[in-house]
Amino acid sequence: MTTKADILQAIRHKCLDCCCFQPSEIRECPVTTCGLWPYRLGRDPEPSRSRGFAKPPVYTQGSGKAGRIHAAAAGEGLGT
């Protein structure tokens, strides 16, 4: 499962890529309109706010009633 730390590390790596792998340039980044700008230093600027980081995957098929309903809607198991 992807963790919040993994996501922030990936954002940091993207910022390094954008700044030609010059860490000092990330701190001085002038592109404040970039969606990743608040996270560029590898930290969450508002750690108490829930943003949906690292949600568990949603399974649509499998055991249980929901899996059977999805399979029937897809035409599986109908004997056709």
Q: How many residues does the chain have?
A: 80
67 versus 7: the higher-pLDDT residue is 7
Q: In this structure, which amino acid lies at residue 23?
A: P
51 pLDDT exceeds 70? no
Task: Read off the amino acid at residue 70.
Answer: H
Task: Sort 40 into a burial class: Cβ within 10 Å, 0-12 / 13-18 / 19+.
Answer: buried
**pLDDT value at position 55?**
56
Cα angle 7-35-49, degrees, rounded to a multiple of 5:
60
Tokens 């993207």 correspond to: 14
pLDDT at 59: 62
pLDDT in tens, 10-30: 888 999 999 899 988 988 999
pLDDT value, residue 21 = 92
- Residue 73 tokens read as 């809607």
